[in-house]
């Protein structure tokens, strides 16, 4: 076979592998008719992937009785079965496997999950989708011995349509092969500073819809001109609706509280529309006003709770509803430290966001990956601004086109799910990526994709600092700064180099005439360890660090618009191995792993209270 033919064959195979991945993402799942498959799932640990490959290490055929996606029932006494699912071996879904049983703590590899269920459709012509909030990292999904597809990415939602002929009213046999092995060509790559929690970590649901249904829609307030305060009377909101199936003749948008109802012609599968809102309250950090929006089309009906606001970078400022806002932030991992597990659901979201509110925050940086949908929805209801990020982290393979496709897919899934969340004001395309031409092109392309998907929000990335730019001046001159809306950077002066007192003579700047934001800063301390302020890992050292940082923040340049220190709560990390202070935990939290406030908490809290008093209200 000629080289050109080989290349074409390889491209076709790659394209097919990407196309099989999953059907396009359904949104607004919490407000749809759905049946939960959460609960106990049986499992098989399979480090050699015996259930996937035969003894020649070839992928098993679909009807192979020894494939773990096929039934484990022994029909005859002499039938050989070398796999089986029993209740003795079961795990909670949603949930990571690492925290549920001791033998899973450091496990990276394949685990097969199995769930049996009955399901009868409410209408025979309806369609049913299998929806996953997230599975880390690769999920291969089988129903009744047939493969529905696979998904790559540990923190974004995906779904598959179940063929009508495959779904049974009784005894459906659902199997998910979950593989959390890190890989050089994955996003994130092999080297991260957080725990690689494996498993079906978010909710699993069966979503039933009519044959033609509303797959997705968006609606938000439009900007009139850069820097302007939006109108609250006769304001214009615009959006689009995406249909799956035969395009209906028309659709209706209703906002009951505003006594507004309007019918539009559905021109194509994706149709734009706009509304004039008679009188509205703007969503803000002081007034988290949400309106019920109902959309009906043909036999389908969906509703959501949406806040109307504008956000933009303008000159030296970030404007929320046309007024400057200082972002009193904190970085947050999707983890419940007190239980050493991955966070999921409303209860965990309430815990984390209320801890941030106690600190005095009006903003959270959800690092370093898209968090559970419960987080962004609760942020909507609490008036908490959100930075949402994909795990393009440190040293991924920026020259690899397939890696870029994986990053772009995760970016698309993140934006698609949360476009209607008023709280989300920044899409971030990565964190601390090393400067090079190929990396800058990679990141710039992600920025362009984010802008094409949603032009209403800011796009940024957490950049590193040029500490050699001049005497007492640290410059954020990363070439990516030309393309982001807000220049964000991570700095750890006094932790990774020098002492906190070095902050006293340090100044910060950027050649880009844009808002400047500190996306990380922090120091480690083990909760309950007390000593003098020079003793590292003591609460007193961390307290000193924050005192010096706050003093430095008060002389930042006029384009300084906020900060999200690292981090809200201690979190697990295999990279942190000091036997006295870390023991597999990153200790930079302002809350300890036991959920207790450290001394530095009160330093940042006092600074945020001072900044809050200086901040004019933005809700009117």
What pLDDT, in 10s, does the model give residues 214-237? Answer: 999 999 999 889 999 999 999 999
Query: Domain of 428: which CATH number?
Result: 3.20.20.80
Q: Which residue, 179, 209, 239, sits at the end of a domain?
A: 209
Bridge partners (DSSP) listed for residue 162:
128
CA 291 to mean position of chain CA atoms: 24
Bridge partners (DSSP) listed for residue 508:
474
Based on the domain organization, do 43 and 186 belong to the same domain? Answer: yes
Q: What radius of gyration do the chain's Cα atoms show?
A: 25
Based on the domain organization, do 182 and 245 belong to the same domain? Answer: no
Q: How far apart are CA 462 and CA 565, in angstroms?
A: 12
Q: How far apart are CA 371 and CA 389, in angstroms?
A: 9
Note whether residue 316 is domain-resident.
Answer: no
pLDDT value for 618: 47
Domain residues for the domain of 77 are: 20-209
* 3-state secondary structure (DSSP) of residue 253: strand
Burial (CB count within 10 angstroms: exposed 0-12, middle 13-18, buried 19+), residue 533: middle
Note whether residue 392 is domain-resident.
Answer: yes
Based on the domain organization, do 275 and 194 belong to the same domain? Answer: no
* 387 contacts 366 by C-beta, under 8 angstroms: yes
Q: How far apart are CA 564 and CA 354, in angstroms?
A: 16
Q: How far apart are CA 457 and CA 98, in angstroms?
A: 36
Query: From start to end of 256-381, where are the E strands?
Result: 260-265, 270-279, 291-297, 300-306, 311-314, 317-320, 323-324, 327-332, 335-336, 341-342, 363-366
Based on the domain organization, do 138 and 280 belong to the same domain? Answer: no
Based on the domain organization, do 508 and 587 belong to the same domain? Answer: yes
Q: Which residue, 181, 209, 237, sits at the end of a domain?
A: 209
Kindly report the pTM of this predicted structure. Answer: 0.95
Q: 49-55: long-range contacts (C-beta < 8 A, 24 or more apart)?
A: 49/109, 49/110, 50/82, 50/83, 51/83, 51/110, 51/112, 51/177, 52/110, 52/140, 52/177
Based on the domain organization, do 203 and 226 belong to the same domain? Answer: no
Query: Domain of 151: which CATH number?
Result: 2.60.120.260
Based on the domain organization, do 349 and 283 belong to the same domain? Answer: no
**Number of compact structural domains in the chain:** 3
Based on the domain organization, do 576 and 555 belong to the same domain? Answer: yes
Based on the domain organization, do 338 and 230 belong to the same domain? Answer: no
CA 557 to mean position of chain CA atoms: 31
- Pair type for strands 385-389 and 172-179: unpaired
**Is the bond preceding 146 in cis, omega lying within 30 degrees of 0?**
no
Distances in Å between the Cα of 146 and the Cα atoms of 15, 84, 121, 253, 600 are 21, 18, 20, 39, 54
Q: How far apart are CA 403 and CA 409, in angstroms?
A: 10
Q: How far apart are CA 237 and CA 232, in angstroms?
A: 11
Q: Kindly compute the dihedral angle of the four CA atoms of residues 366, 575, 358, 156, in this order, to the nearest 10 degrees.
A: 20
Q: How far apart are CA 618 and CA 620, in angstroms?
A: 6
Note whether residue 44 is domain-resident.
Answer: yes
Based on the domain organization, do 278 and 334 belong to the same domain? Answer: no
Note whether residue 135 is domain-resident.
Answer: yes
Bridge partners (DSSP) listed for residue 39:
93
Q: How far apart are CA 563 and CA 561, in angstroms?
A: 7
Based on the domain organization, do 219 and 184 belong to the same domain? Answer: no
Note whether residue 10 is domain-resident.
Answer: no
C-alpha dihedral sign at 130, 131, 134, 137:
positive
Note whether residue 14 is domain-resident.
Answer: no
Q: Which residue, 285, 309, 333, sits at the end of a domain?
A: 309
Note whether residue 9 is domain-resident.
Answer: no
Burial (CB count within 10 angstroms: exposed 0-12, middle 13-18, buried 19+), residue 499: middle
State which residues of the chain have pLDDT below 50. Answer: 1-21, 618-620
Note whether residue 314 is domain-resident.
Answer: no
Question: Residue 350: CB partners within 8 Å, gap ≥ 6?
Answer: 378
Q: Looking up tokens 């697990």, which residue turns up? A: 572
Q: What's 143-170 look like in SS3?
A: ECCEEEEEEECCCCCEEEEECCCCCCCC
Largest Cα span, the chain: 81
pLDDT value for 470: 67
Write out pLDDT tens, residues 339-355. Answer: 999 999 999 999 999 99
* 91 contacts 41 by C-beta, under 8 angstroms: yes
| Dihedral pair phi/psi, residue 519, rounded to 5° | -85, -15
Closest CA to 312 of 399, 236, 246, 227: 227
Bridge partners (DSSP) listed for residue 244:
213
pLDDT value for 224: 80
Based on the domain organization, do 524 and 405 belong to the same domain? Answer: yes
* 391 contacts 428 by C-beta, under 8 angstroms: no
**What do you get for the CA distance between the two ends of the chain, in Å?**
69
């Amino acid at each position: 076979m000629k080289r050109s033919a080989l290349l074409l064959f390889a491209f076709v195979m790659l394209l097919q592998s990407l196309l099989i991945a999953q059907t396009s993402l359904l949104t607004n799942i919490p407000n749809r008719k759905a049946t939960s498959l959460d609960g106990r799932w049986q499992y098989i640990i399979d480090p050699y992937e015996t259930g996937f490959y035969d003894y020649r290490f070839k992928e098993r055929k679909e009807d192979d009785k020894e494939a773990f996606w096929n039934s484990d029932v022994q029909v005859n006494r002499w039938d050989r079965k070398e796999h089986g699912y029993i209740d003795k071996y079961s795990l909670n879904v949603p949930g990571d496997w690492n925290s549920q049983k001791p033998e899973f703590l450091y496990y990276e590899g394949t685990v097969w999950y199995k769930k049996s269920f009955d399901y009868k459709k409410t209408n025979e012509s309806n369609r049913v989708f299998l929806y996953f909030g997230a599975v880390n990292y690769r999920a291969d999904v089988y129903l009744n011995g047939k493969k529905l597809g696979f998904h790559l990415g540990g923190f974004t939602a995906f779904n598959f349509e179940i063929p009508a002929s495959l779904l049974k009213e009784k005894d459906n046999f659902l199997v998910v092969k979950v593989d959390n092995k890190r890989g050089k060509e994955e996003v994130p790559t092999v080297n991260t500073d957080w725990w690689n929690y494996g498993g079906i970590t978010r909710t699993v649901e069966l979503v039933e819809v009519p044959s033609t249904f509303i797959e997705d829609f968006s609606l938000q307030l439009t900007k009139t001109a850069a820097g302007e305060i939006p109108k609250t009377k006769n304001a214009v909101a615009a959006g689009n609706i995406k249909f799956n199936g035969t395009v209906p003749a028309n659709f209706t948008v209703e906002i009951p509280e505003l006594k507004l109802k309007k019918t539009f012609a559905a021109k194509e599968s994706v149709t734009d529309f706009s509304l004039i809102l008679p009188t509205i309250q703007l969503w803000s950090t002081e007034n988290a006003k949400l309106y019920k929006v109902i959309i009906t089309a043909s036999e389908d009906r969906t509703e959501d709770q949406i806040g109307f606001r504008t956000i933009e970078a303008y000159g030296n400022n970030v404007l929320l509803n046309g007024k400057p806002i200082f972002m009193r932030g904190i970085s947050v991992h999707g983890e419940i430290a007190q239980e050493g597990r991955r966070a999921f659901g409303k209860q965990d979201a309430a815990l984390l966001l209320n801890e941030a509110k106690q600190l005095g925050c009006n903003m959270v940086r959800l690092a370093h990956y898209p968090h559970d949908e419960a987080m962004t929805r609760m942020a909507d209801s609490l008036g908490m601004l959100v930075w949402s990020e994909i795990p393009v982290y440190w040293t991924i393979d920026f020259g690899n086109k397939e890696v870029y496709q994986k990053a772009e897919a995760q970016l698309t899934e993140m934006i698609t799910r949360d476009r209607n969340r008023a709280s989300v004001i920044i899409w971030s395309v990565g964190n601390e990526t090393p400067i090079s031409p190929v990396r800058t092109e990679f990141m710039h392309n992600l920025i362009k994709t984010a802008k094409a998907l949603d032009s209403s929000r800011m796009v940024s990335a957490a950049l590193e600092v040029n500490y050699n730019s001049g005497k007492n001046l640290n410059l954020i001159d990363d070439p990516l700064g030309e393309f982001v809306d807000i220049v964000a950077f991570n700095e750890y002066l006094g932790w990774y180099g020098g002492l906190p007192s070095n902050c006293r003579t340090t100044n910060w700047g950027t050649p880009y005439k844009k808002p400047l934001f500190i996306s990380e800063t922090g120091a480690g301390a083990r909760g309950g360890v007390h000593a003098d302020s020079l003793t590292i890992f003591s609460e007193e050292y961390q307290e000193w660090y924050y005192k010096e940082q706050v003093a430095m923040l008060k002389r930042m340049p006029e384009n300084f618009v906020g900060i999200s220190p690292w981090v809200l709560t201690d979190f697990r990390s295999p990279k942190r191995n000091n036997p006295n202070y870390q023991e597999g935990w990153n200790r930079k939290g302002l809350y300890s792993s036991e959920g207790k406030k450290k001394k530095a908490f009160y330093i940042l809290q006092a600074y945020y209270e001072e900044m809050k008093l200086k901040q004019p209200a933005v809700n009117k």
